Amino acid sequence: MVLSSIYDVQQLLKRFGIFVYIGDRASNLEMMELEIRELYHSQLIDIQDFQKAILLLRSEIEREKLK
């Protein structure tokens, strides 16, 4: 799967039945990061998808903090 946006990360999580909605964008992103880590540690996603997803999420979390 080619990950190039937060939407793509959401779609990756959705493939595993994971839907994240807390109501606060920053909290959503942080929870998505935790879920991605859990999928990787469970060996359900490969290292490339893990690294790209974490990079996208951290970048977006930083953007949210700067608002």
Question: Which domains, ranges and CATH numbers included, belong to the chain?
Answer: 6-66 (1.10.287.760)
pTM of the model: 0.93
pLDDT, one tens digit per residue, over 25-50 is: 999 999 999 999 999 999 999 999 99
* Helix-strand-coil split of the chain, %, nearest 5: 70, 0, 30
pLDDT, one tens digit per residue, over 6-25 is: 999 999 999 999 999 999 99
Amino acid making up residue 23 = G
